[in-house]
Structure 1
Amino acid sequence: METLNVKVSRKNPELIAPARPTPHEFKLLSDIDDQEGLRVQIPVIQFYQSQRSPYGEGKDPVEVIRDAIAKALVFYYPFAGRLRERADRKLVVECTGEGILFIEADADVTLKQFGDPLLPPFPCLEELLYDVPNSAGLLHCPLLLIQVTRLRCGGFIFALRLNHTMSDAVGLVQFMSAAGELARGADIPSIPPIWKRHLLNARNPPCVTCTHHEYDEVQDTKGTLIPLDDMVRRSFFFGIAELAAIRSRLPLYLQHYSTFELLTACLWRCNTIAMSPDPSEEIRILFVVNSRRRFNPPIPDGYYGNALAFALAISTAGDLSRNPLHYAAELVKKAKSNVTEEHMKSIADLMVIKGRPNLTVVRTYIVSDMRHAGFEEVDFGWGKPAYGGPAMGDVSAIPGVVSYCIPFKNNKGENGIVVPVSLPGNSMDVFVKELEGMLKDSATGVFITSAL
C-alpha cells in the first residue's frame, strides 16, 4: 500500500457560499469549543463504491455534493464564516457568508487499489485532501475544506478537513448527513441545527469545582514523545471472539463493563508494557466522552458544537503493568463516570480562569471512540461508504499518542472494531505479544485472531 502512487488532477479550489443569503452576525463559540487542544484541523475521509444512484441516472457526484453543500450551508451558515479572536483569547465566528473551500478532482486509480480492507492511514492523503496554501490557519480562514475525487472505477472519495473548534465528530457528522439528505432530494435537514453554545460557557463568576489533571503542565524531561520516523503502524481488529477473550480476563463482578471501557483498558495496559517506562513514572490514559446525555436536561439534538470531555485516568507504569486487566479497567470506568454536567461546567470555568490551556500529552495515551459518530452512515445518494471516518490512524503532530476505535467489517463479513496503533518497531513487537496474550483462550490455549 505504501507504494501506491495516486496521480490526482485538481481544478482550482473554489469557495462555496450558502445557496441563499444568510445573516451577517457574530456568534461566540463555547468555552469548551475554544480550548487550546481543539485549535487544530481534523481530516476525515469517505470512500464510495461505483454504483448507480437511485436519485438520478448518470449524475456526477462532484456536482451533486457541491450543490448539496451550498444548500446545507443555508442551515449551517456559521461554517461559511471566519473565526476572529477577541480579548482573553475568546473565539467568535463572524458569519460573513464567504463560504467553505471546495476542490474538484480526478484520480487515475480504482477503489481496490487503496487496499482490502480499507484502513487508515491512507496513502497519498495529501493528494486526496489538498492543503490549499494559507487555508489551514485558525483565524480568518475557511472553516471547512472539502475535496471530492472521482476514481477510474466510477467510485469517488469525499475528504474533509474541519477546524475542530467548530464541531466534534458528532456535530460534523450531523452537517455531513444534512448535506447527504439534501443531495438525495430533501428540502430541509431532518435534524435542525442548533447553535446554543452558551450551554457550555463558563459560569459567572467561574468556579472550578472538579479536578482536571488532563490540563496539568507536565514536562517531558525524559524525551517520551516519539519521533515520527521511528514509527511502525499496525491495525488490530476486535470482533466478537476477541472481545469475549479480553472480557474473560475480568472478574465476574466487572462483566457489565462496556466494550469501550474494556478495550481502552486493554490498549492502555499493552501500550504501557510495550513502551517500558520507568515503573515509578506516572502513565496516563485520556479518552473522549460525549457529554450530551450527561446534562439534565440533555443538550438538545441538533447541537453541533464540541460537547466532549477528555476523561483521564492515572497510574504508575509499574502498577499498570503488574496488575491484572481489571486494575486498568476500574480506573477507566471511574474516569468515565466522573464526566458529569458539573464536570463540564468546571472545565469551562477552568478555560476562562487559566487562559484556555492545552491538554498534556506527555506520558499519555489517547483513545478516541468513533463507533457512534456515524461517519459510516453518510449517504450522498450512492449508498453508504466502504470506509468512513478518520483519515489517519493517529495524529501526526503527536505520533504514537492517539488511537481511534473505528467501526469495521473484516474480510469475513464480521462486524467489529479496528484500532490503528503507532509505536516504535521494538515496542510494536512487545505490544503484539502482550495483545496475543490477552487474546489467548484460557480454556484451550489457542490464540483468537481475525485477519483483516
Structure 2
Amino acid sequence: MKVKIESSKIVKPLYEDGEAPAHAEWVPLSVFDKVTYGEHVALIFAFRPPNPPNSEVELGLAKALAVYREWAGRIGDGPDGRRSVLLKDAGARFVEAAVDAPMAVSLPSGPSPDVRRLHPRIDDGPVELVQVQLTRFSCGSLAVGFAGHHQIADGQATANFLAAWGLATRRLPVSPAPVCDRGTRFSPREPPVVLFPHQEVEYRTPAPNKEGDAMDKEQEEFVFGAVAQDKVKVHRMHLSKEFVVRLKAQASSGLPPSRHGYTTFQSVVAHLWRAITVARRLGAGVTTKVRISVNGRTRMHPPVPRDYFGNVVLWAFPRSDAGELVSRSVGHAAELVYRAVADVDDAYFRSFVDFASSSGAVEAEGLVPTADSEQAVLCPDLEVDAWLGINFHGLDFGGGGPFRVMPTYYPMEGSLFLVPSTLGDGSMEAYVALFHNHLEEFKRICHKIT
C-alpha cells in the first residue's frame, strides 16, 4: 500500500464565542494518568463513502479541541515539579494523505506493518498529544488514523472525545461536556489507608543495569534464543455470535443455580488464555498470568462520571500454573478471571490512590510503573485490551459509523485486543500477537471449545 502524504499542519482549538482563555494553565496529571503507558496509542477507523471533505473534518476537530483542551496541550513538568499538562492551545497534528487504489484491495485485513502508514509516526515521541491522519482512497473510502497520548485519556475518555469530534463535524453541539478535574478529583485520605500491596503490581523497582541481573538464565535463553528470532505476527480471529453463546454456555455449565453465568469478556479471555497457553507449549511448573485493564468509573464510590476526561484504570492479574490451566475446564479459567477482576474494587482503587499520592514510596524508592510498552515478549503472560464496553464506533462524521475499527500494528508478543464487531450482532474480533511458530498452532485450535 503506497500512501502519499499531501499535507501536515497543526490544528488549534476553535472557540464558538471566538475568545480563547486568557492565560495558559498547568493541570497536574492524576495518579492514574501517571501510572499508565506514557506513549501514544493509535487506532484505525475505516469509512465507506460518502464522506465529508477534509476541511469539514478539520473544522470539527478544531471545535472538539476547544471543549477537550487537554488534547491540544503539552505534557511537561509544572512549576511545582509535578508531571502536568500545559493548557496553552498548542494544537494537534492533522495530516492529509491519499492512496491511488480502492480501499478494498489496499487496507490490510488486520494489524500489520502497512497499517502504520495510516497514522502519523508515534515511535519518535511526538510532542502533539493528538495526531490525526485522513487517508483518502480512489474509491471514495476514508481511513482515519487517530493517535492519542495515553496519559491524557484512557479508552473510555478517548471514545467520548471521538464521538464529540463527530458531533462537531456534523455541526451539532458537543454534548455531554467532559468532566475535566483530573488535578483535584483523586485526593488521598487523611490519614492514608494502604490495604493492598501496590509495589510490584502497579509499580516496580527499576531493573538493575548490570548484565545478567535483569533475568535469569532460562528467561534469557528464551528471550534471546532461536524462538525469539521468529517474527511476531498478529492474527485477526472472528468470534461469531453463535460461537460466543456456546462458549459462555460451556464456561458457565458448572456454576450453581445461585450464580450468574460468566460474562462474554470472562468467557472469551478464559478461552483465549487457555488456547494461547497450549499453542505456546507451556507445561506444568510455569506460572502464566493475564494483565487485564479494569475501569474504575463505576467501581469507585462515589462513581466517577462516565464523561470524566482522563484515566481511571488499574489492572487485574489472574494467574495459574500452565499445566493446571489447560488440563481443567474453560469454566475454571473464567472463574480465575472473574475473581481477579472482582478484587479490583473501590477499596483497592482507594488504597492505590493513597499509596501513589501520599506514601512517599514512589519517589523515595524511585519506583516506575509496571505498564511498560518496551517489553517485546510477554510469554508466558498475556496483556488484554478489551474495547467491548467502549463505543469507538460512535465516531460519525455524517456518513455513518466506521465499518472497521482496529488497533495499529503492535508487535508485542502476547498482546490481545478484543474489539466488538461493527455488525452489532454480538460478534467480535480478537487480534492476537504471537510468534509465528506458536500462531499456527493457535489458529488450529482457537475455535475449539474444550
Picking from 299, 307, 328, the partner of 1:302 is: 307
In the other structure, the counterpart of 1:314 is: 319
Gap runs ≥5 in structure 1:
54-58, 440-452
Deviation at 1:114, TM superposition (A): 3.5
Distance 1:243 1:133 in 2: 36
Picking from 411, 417, 425, the partner of 2:428 is: 417
Per the normalisation by structure 1, the TM-score is 0.84
- Helix, strand or coil: the match of 1:33? helix
- Helix, strand or coil: the match of 2:446? helix
Letter in 1 for 2:26: F
User: CA contact under 8 A between 2:277 and 2:380: conserved in structure 1?
Assistant: no
User: CA contact under 8 A between 1:82 and 1:95: conserved in structure 2?
Assistant: yes
Deviation at 1:277, TM superposition (A): 2.8
Alignment of 1:28-427 (within 5 A): 28-35=28-35, 37-51=36-50, 59-60=52-53, 62-85=54-77, 90-114=82-106, 119-122=109-112, 124-131=114-121, 136-137=125-126, 141-186=127-172, 188-197=173-182, 198-203=184-189, 206-212=192-198, 214-215=201-202, 220-221=215-216, 222-223=219-220, 224-225=222-223, 227=228, 229-250=230-251, 251-253=253-255, 256-352=261-357, 353-354=361-362, 355-359=367-371, 361=378, 363-392=380-409, 395-396=410-411, 399-408=412-421, 415-427=426-438
- Helix, strand or coil: the match of 1:34? helix
Aligned in 2, Cα 1:150/1:227: closer, same or farther, shift over 3 Å?
same
Distance 1:214 1:46 in 2: 33
Q: Report which stretch shifted further, 355-364 or 287-296.
A: 355-364
User: CA contact under 8 A between 1:81 and 1:97: conserved in structure 2?
Assistant: yes
In the other structure, the counterpart of 2:439 is: 428
- Helix, strand or coil: the match of 2:268? helix
The alignment of Structure 1 onto Structure 2 pairs a total of residues equal to 413
Deviation at 1:349, TM superposition (A): 3.4
Aligned in 2, Cα 1:357/1:174: closer, same or farther, shift over 3 Å?
same
Deviation at 1:194, TM superposition (A): 0.9
Letter in 1 for 2:440: D
Distance 2:382 2:139 in 1: 39
Deviation at 1:293, TM superposition (A): 0.9
1:46-75 alpha-carbon deviations (Å, 9 max, x no partner): 111112x6xxxxx51x10111111111111
Deviation at 1:229, TM superposition (A): 4.5
Aligned in 2, Cα 1:128/1:240: closer, same or farther, shift over 3 Å?
closer
Distance 1:79 1:70 in 2: 11
- Helix, strand or coil: the match of 2:336? helix
Per the normalisation by structure 2, the TM-score is 0.84
Aligned in 2, Cα 1:87/1:96: closer, same or farther, shift over 3 Å?
closer
- Helix, strand or coil: the match of 2:369? coil
Deviation at 1:386, TM superposition (A): 1.2
- Helix, strand or coil: the match of 2:399? coil
User: CA contact under 8 A between 2:110 and 2:234: conserved in structure 1?
Assistant: no
Distance 1:239 1:348 in 2: 40
1:243-272 alpha-carbon deviations (Å, 9 max, x no partner): 233234333416611010011111111111
In the other structure, the counterpart of 1:8 is: 4
User: CA contact under 8 A between 2:120 and 2:147: conserved in structure 1?
Assistant: no
CA RMSD in angstroms comes to 2.6
Gap runs ≥5 in structure 2:
208-213, 373-377
Aligned in 2, Cα 1:201/1:83: closer, same or farther, shift over 3 Å?
farther
Distance 1:132 1:241 in 2: 38
Distance 1:338 1:239 in 2: 30
Deviation at 1:314, TM superposition (A): 1.4
Deviation at 1:362, TM superposition (A): 6.2
In the other structure, the counterpart of 2:24 is: 24
